[in-house]
A and B are shown apart, each in its own frame.
Chain A
Amino acid sequence: MTVVNRMIAGLGLGVTMTMGAIAVPAFAADDTIKVGVLHSLSGTMAISETTLKDTMLFLIDEQNKKGGLLGKQLEAVVVDPASDWPLFAEKARELIAVDGVAAVFGCWTSSSRKSVLPVFKELNSILFYPVQYEGEESEKNVIYTGAAPNQQAIPAVDYLMSEEGGSVKRWVLEATDYVYPRTTNKILEQYLLDKGVAAEDIKINYTPFGFADWQTEVAAIKEFGSAGKKTAVVSTINGDANTPFYKELANQGVSAEDIPVVAFSVGEEELAGLDTTNLVGHLAAWNYFQSVDTPENAAFIGAWHTYIGNDTRTTNDPMEAAYLGFNLWVAAVEKAGTTDTDAVLKAIVGLSVPNLTGGTATVLPNHHLTKPVLIGEIQADGQFEIVKQTVEVPGDAWSDVLPEDKGIEADWTDPLTGCGHLDTATKTCGAAPAS
């Protein structure tokens, strides 16, 4: 792949992007079903979200080739909320109220999701949210197709505690300072304490967004790891800060055999900008890796490469989550025979579609999915080697680990009378605690 080719590919991408956005109003006919795509195409989050926008266009294209949905063609309406949280709410309102989309696929950060929630409630539409998140939420209008903490963080910690994972006894929770790591660390800390890890064997450290100078932090990790007990780092470091973090790890010679780092936000896309030769063996926990060896995955990657016209483009976990969300929505619309929000929400609970790792994803009454947990080790070629794969784990909206959430469930089997924060002991539907 030469630079020139890349540039041309980039230009092509830019052109399709603009055309996608412009072409929309031209077809305002009744013979199409409109689907909203709400991902940042500029600003800080563009690095992650642009791929998901491409994925959605790819999935919609594939569905149209199969004859569309309910005899109509699907039509993507792409908007750019520009990594600006309030703009997400505005754009969501525009998609639902002005363009009249049947469902919206979008958001990445929890802040953007929280920003659009009131809009989806007010206008009663459906959001498919494709990213792993901190849990502690279940809404009538949102289907969470990424992992809840019990489908990513806790199994990863379990793996490291096991003999196979190195019997880790001492933990550094290294994180970026915002809502997802804060909540995840709260759950993990409680979980570790419950498992008998002493409080002095847990170190939690927060750094700001986009943090670039990791010298002190990595040295502190080395020092913490020299207390004679097997130490591991659980990283919830966000996007941009990861590259300098891993570069510093490699430079200071923190090898995975001594102090493994398990990350929840580092996938194939993030590794693309890194020389991974010195990072072999560090881990990531996801529900999907590109290296998964199944016929479904091979077909998906092949079709994706053909669509995007670049056979070095990686696939990643949020892409699979978007794929699952889209297929579930299609199945639910077909079952309900309409795109009406309440009918689709009623139809979707209990539906199953095959995932890319050889199992099935089922929508649970709490609007989360069943997902297998995969632990992968980074390889020198920037891919992950899967060292552990579990059976499908049901997503838990309210973590059973936290004392205040014990016995809290969510049930949207009937979207009209359902409840997102049901106390199973008292059978009352309380309001979710403010967050």
Chain B
Amino acid sequence: MTNRILRLIAVLFALALSPLPALAQGTDFTAMVQALGQGGFPDREAAMNALVATGDERVPPILQAMSDGTLFVRKSDQRVLFAAKSGSEFKLTDPVDSSNAGTATSKDIEKVKVNNGLRGKIRTAIGTMTLLSPDRASRLSAAQSILKNADPAMLPLLDSALAAETDPAIKSTMDLARAVIVLKSDATLDDKRAAVDTIAAHGDLDAQTVLVNALAAAPDELKPTIQTGIDAIGRNLQIWQVAQNLLYGVSLSSVLLLAAIGLSITFGVMGIINMAHGEMVMLGAYTTFVVQELIRNFAPGLMDYSLAFAVPAAFLFTALVGIAIERGIIRWLYGRPLETLLATWGLSLALQQMVRTLFGPTNQMVSPPSWMTGAFDVGGLSITWNRLWIVVFAIAVFVILQLVLNRTALGLQMRAVTQNRRMASSMGIRTPFVDAMTFGLGSGIAGMAGVALSQIDNVSPNLGQGYIIDSFMVVVFGGVGNLWGTLIGALMLGVGNKLLEPQFGAVLGKIIILVLIILFIQWRPRGLFALKGRSIEQ
């Protein structure tokens, strides 16, 4: 019952909003829908307002489709229809009575165009119509859209919605929206003061925007209150800002760590200057693309788990490529670092060109799984899911690698060969086999890094080049041959970079970091954690 009354209020409110004379409920709803397909953006907006004024339940899905670009006009009879793409054809549905309207090719139908301005208005319109929706997600987005476009005319509707709302997150957004509206309306000074407090208590960037906007238009008595609110938010934000920058730094560090950790095995442990390391990362990213493409074609339902398949696939593939490279090229060049450098450099160019020939020079699309998109807020921090997962992944890779090196027979042999090849050999360790396995492990880890990087960077033949210098920097800075050094090195470089960036800009920040590293290497040529013992004397 209350629901029905509320809905009535919503309709009345929508009527008040509409610039057109309210069309009676009896007029032809179909004709109003068809009007969406005619004329330019202003005509379309008028048609939309007329539709909103009906308060009809069928309107929000139509508007949503319009905003999503799935509302089309059939050229033959100018009918406005939902169109869902299936294969090369579009399946058409009538938005008014949901009846099937046949199929069409892209030549027969034309999209109902919207631009940014209209899209914003559609969002607000949907917001007003779905504020009382039983669905939590649409209520939340409705509350957010009302907050963005606070209109005093919405106050009665919002009040009734607030009274019925039970979800704390939505309630808090609605409270904020209400406060913003009160600030704009001609409420009493006391009400407005309370509203400023409510907004200031939110303490985020949006709240600050609202108050800055309100300051100019506020009466003089209110200005000091608003200014205090802005200052309070500003102080609050400044503290969070530092934390946020640290977080960005940790996130950059995780990327550096992933890119460098494979190198710290091949370069650090084996002493091979592998210029094709970046290409292993690139191959890992392309493996992700191929895996996703296979899943898209054969098992679309598994798309969200594509990365779970891509990680082992990338590891195996790049590890095999790595072993092939070691057996085919590098083992002939042990002890000749210059030749190794040139050979692997040439190899990196060859790999790039091979990928370019196979897949074409353009970027390939790796789609993010749904659990890696978007962001969430913790206090004043905004954390994006993909970055968070990459941090988790980097830590997992680091821990597993430590376990492999310290707890397995292969790891023991690797360390033995590193420390004293001849002694290890005389103890019966097959050093050529261990060499191949170590190089394969390093390459495989680079491939796994590629899976993670495919989520944030271009999947193009040049992907690896962007990381090779940073990787060497991290390994050299951290101390050759020490995984902990690589971890600490990546953390220091990442966090340092992100702390410098806001002050000096990205270009200068990077230069400062480079200069600092050069100075540091002068002081400690073996990096942060230098290996001790006989191996370094070789």
CB distance from B297 to the nearest CB of A (A): 6
Interface residues in B189-209 (C-beta closer than 8 Å to A):
205-206, 208-209
Is A216 within 8 A of B245, CB to CB?
yes
Please classify the interface of chain B as helix (H, G, I), strand (E, B), loop, or mixed, using the class held by over half of its residues. helix
Is A46 a contact of B361 with CB atoms below 8 Å?
yes
Contact call B507/A11, Cβ cutoff below 8 A: no
Interchain CB contact under 8 A, A274 and B505: no
Contact of A273 among B364, B368, B466 (CB under 8 A): B364
- A217 to B, closest residue via Cβ: B506
Q: A260-B116, A387-B115 are in contact. Are A206 and B505 (CB under 8 A)?
A: yes
Of the candidate stretches A88-96, A222-230, A328-336, A350-358, the one touching chain B is A222-230
Task: Compute how far the CA of A260 lies from the CA of B115 in the bound complex, rounded to whole angstroms.
Answer: 11
Q: Which residues of A contact B465 (CB under 8 A)?
A: 44, 210
Q: Which bucket holds chain A's interface residue count? A: 35 or more
What residues of A have a CB within 8 angstroms of the CB of B208 in the complex? 226
Instruction: Report yes or no: B373 in contact with A206, Cβ–Cβ below 8 A.
Output: no
Q: Does A405 contact B (CB under 8 A)?
A: no
Contact (Cβ within 8 A) A47 B365: no
* Closest chain A residue, CB of each to CB of B499: A216
- A176 to B498, alpha carbons, bound, how many Å? 18
Instruction: Indicate whether A21 reaches chain B with its CB closer than 8 angstroms.
Output: no
- Give the residues in chain A near B382, CB-CB below 8 Å: 219, 252
Kindly provide the distance from the CB of B60 to the nearest chain A CB, expressed in whole angstroms: 18
- The answer to whether residues A274 and B363 also contact, given A210-B466, A212-B457, A216-B498 and a CB cut-off of 8 A, is yes
Tell me the bound Cα distance from A426 to B309 in angstroms: 71
Any chain A CB within 8 A of the CB of B94? Answer: no
Q: Which of A1-9, A26-34, A119-127, A390-398 is the interface stretch?
A: A1-9
CB under 8 Å from chain A, chain B span 404-463: 455-462
B357 touching A240, Cβ below 8 Å: no
Q: Does chain A have a CB within 8 A of B251?
A: yes
Query: Which of chain A's residues have a CB closer than 8 A to the CB of B209?
Result: 226-228
* Interface membership of B212, Cβ < 8 A: yes
Shortest Cβ distance from residue A388 to the other chain B in the assembled complex, whole angstroms? 9
Q: In this complex, what residue of B is CB-closest to A377?
A: B115
Q: A226-B208, A228-B209 known; A47 and B361 CB under 8 Å?
A: yes
Contact B357 A215 (CB under 8 A): no
Number of interface residues of B (CB under 8 A): 70
Known A164-B115, A281-B116: A47·B460 in contact at CB below 8 Å: yes
CB distance from A12 to the nearest CB of B (A): 10
Measured CA separation A216–B248 after assembly (Å): 7
A275 interface neighbour in B69, B365, B462, B506, Cβ under 8 Å? B365
Hey, which chain B residues are within 8 Å of A220, CB to CB?
Answer: 502
Whether A243 contacts B367 by the Cβ 8 Å rule is no
Q: Which residues of A contact B391 (CB under 8 A)?
A: none
Bound complex: CA A266 to CA B367 (Å): 19
Contacts A216-B501, A257-B123 known; A240 to B460 CB distance under 8 Å?
A: yes
> 1/0 per residue A44-71: CB within 8 Å of B?
1011101100000000000000000000
- Distance to closest chain A CB from B103 (angstroms): 18
Contact A272 B510 (CB under 8 A): no
- Complex contact A272–B456 (CB within 8 A): no
Q: Which residues of B contact A292 (CB under 8 A)?
A: none
Chain A neighbourhood of B365, CB < 8 A: 272-275
Complex alpha-carbon distance, A206 and B508, angstroms:
10
Query: Does A207 count as interface, using CB distance less than 8 angstroms?
Result: yes
A243 engages B457 (CB within 8 Å): yes
Contacts of A274 in B (CB 8 A): 363, 365
Give the nearest-CB partner of B123 in chain A.
A257
A206 contacts B506, CB within 8 Å? yes
Q: Are A208 and B456 in contact (CB under 8 A)?
A: no
Say yes or no: A211 contacts B387, CB within 8 Å: no
A294: CB under 8 A from chain B? no
CB interface residues, A 1-43, toward B, < 8 Å: 2-3, 6-7, 9-11, 13-14, 42
In the complex, whether B385 has a CB less than 8 A from a CB of chain A is yes
Contact of B385 among A14, A216, A251, A258 (CB under 8 A): A251
Please indicate the chain A residues that have their CB under 8 angstroms from the CB of B251 in the complex: 213, 215
B212 engages A281 (CB within 8 Å): no
The answer to whether A430 has its CB under 8 Å from any CB of chain B is: no
B111 within 8 A of A: yes
- B358 and A7: CB pair below 8 A? yes
B184 part of interface (Cβ distance < 8 Å): no
Asked if residues B506 and A208 are in contact (CB atoms below 8 Å), the reply is yes
* Known contacts A10-B357, A47-B460, A216-B501, A251 near B116 by CB under 8 Å: no
Q: Which of B148, B244, B293, B356 has the largest count of A CB atoms less than 10 A from its CB?
A: B356
B386 at the interface (CB under 8 A from A): yes
Q: Are A47 and B353 in contact (CB under 8 A)?
A: no
Contact, CB under 8 Å: B510 / A164:
no
Instruction: Report the separation of the CA atoms of residues A131 and B336 in the bound assembly, to the nearest whole angstrom.
Output: 45
**Are the CB atoms of A213 and B255 closer together than 8 Å?**
yes
Instruction: Give bound CA distance, A227 to B501, whole Å.
Output: 21
> In chain B between 342 and 387, which residues have their CB closer than 8 angstroms to a CB of chain A?
349, 352-353, 356-365, 367-368, 373-375, 382, 384-387
Are B362 and A211 in contact, with the CB atoms below 8 A? no
Rounded to whole Å, the gap between the CB of A56 and the closest CB of chain B is 15
Instruction: Choose among B456, B458, B461 the residue that contacts A46 (Cβ–Cβ < 8 A).
Output: B461
Q: How far is the CA of A387 from the CA of B114 in the complex (A)?
A: 8
Q: How far is the CA of A377 from the CA of B118 in the complex (A)?
A: 12
How far is the CB of B493 from the nearest CB of chain A, in Å?
12
Q: Does B119 sit at the interface, judged by CB under 8 A?
A: yes
A166/B69 in contact, CB under 8 A: no
Give the residue of A2, A210, A253 whose beta carbon is less than 8 angstroms from that of B293: A2
User: Is A177 an interface residue, CB under 8 A from the partner?
Assistant: yes
Q: Does chain B have a CB within 8 A of A385?
A: yes
Known: A206-B507, A240-B458. A164 touches B373 (CB 8 A): no
CA gap between A44 and B462 in the complex, in Å: 6
Question: A6-B359, A251-B375, A387-B113 known; A47 and B462 CB under 8 Å?
Answer: yes
A324 at interface (Cβ–Cβ under 8 A)?
no
Q: Name B454-501 residues within 8 Å CB distance of A.
A: 455-462, 465-466, 497-498, 501
In the bound complex, CA of A31 to CA of B67 (Å): 57
Interface status of B120 (Cβ within 8 A of chain A) = yes
B203-242 vs A, Cβ < 8 Å mask (1 yes, 0 no): 0011011001100100000000000000000000000000
Task: Report if A87 contacts B (CB, 8 A).
Answer: no
Q: Whole-angstrom distance from the CB of A24 to the nearest CB of chain B?
A: 20
CB-contacts of A173-217 with B (<8 A)? 177, 205-208, 210-213, 215-217
Tell me whether B68 is interfacial, beta carbon within 8 Å: yes
A383 vs B245: C-alpha distance when bound (angstroms): 35
Task: Return chain B residues, CB-CB under 8 Å to A251.
Answer: 373-375, 384-387
A147-171 interface bits toward B, Cβ cutoff 8 Å, 1 = contact, 0 = none: 0000000000000000011100000
Q: Are B297 and A2 in contact (CB under 8 A)?
A: yes
A280 within 8 A of B: yes
Instruction: Kindly state the separation between the CA atoms of A6 and B505 in the bound complex, as whole angstroms.
Output: 41
How near does chain A come to B138, taking the closest CB pair, in angstroms? 17
Residues of chain A contacted by B359 (CB below 8 angstroms):
6-7, 10
Q: Quick check: is B26 within 8 A (CB to CB) of the other chain?
A: no
Q: Let me know if A10 and B41 touch, CB within 8 A.
A: no
Kindly report which residue of chain A lies nearest to residue B494, judged by CB atoms: A213
Assess whether B252 is interfacial by the CB under 8 Å rule: yes
Interface residues of A (CB under 8 A from B): 2-3, 6-7, 9-11, 13-14, 42, 44, 46-48, 50-51, 164-166, 177, 205-208, 210-213, 215-217, 219-220, 222-223, 226-228, 240, 243-244, 247-248, 250-253, 256-258, 260, 269-270, 272-275, 278, 280-281, 283, 377, 379-380, 385, 387
Q: Assuming A206-B506, A252-B375, what are 12 further A-B pairs, CB within 8 angstroms? A: A11-B357, A210-B465, A219-B248, A223-B205, A226-B206, A227-B212, A251-B374, A251-B375, A256-B116, A273-B460, A275-B367, A387-B113
Closest 8 CB pairs between A and B? Answer: A273-B363, A14-B357, A228-B213, A251-B384, A207-B506, A226-B209, A228-B212, A215-B248
Chosen A-B contacts, 14 in total, with CB atoms closer than 8 Å, are A47-B462, A50-B360, A166-B116, A213-B248, A216-B245, A219-B244, A240-B466, A251-B373, A253-B374, A256-B116, A269-B362, A272-B363, A273-B365, A385-B115
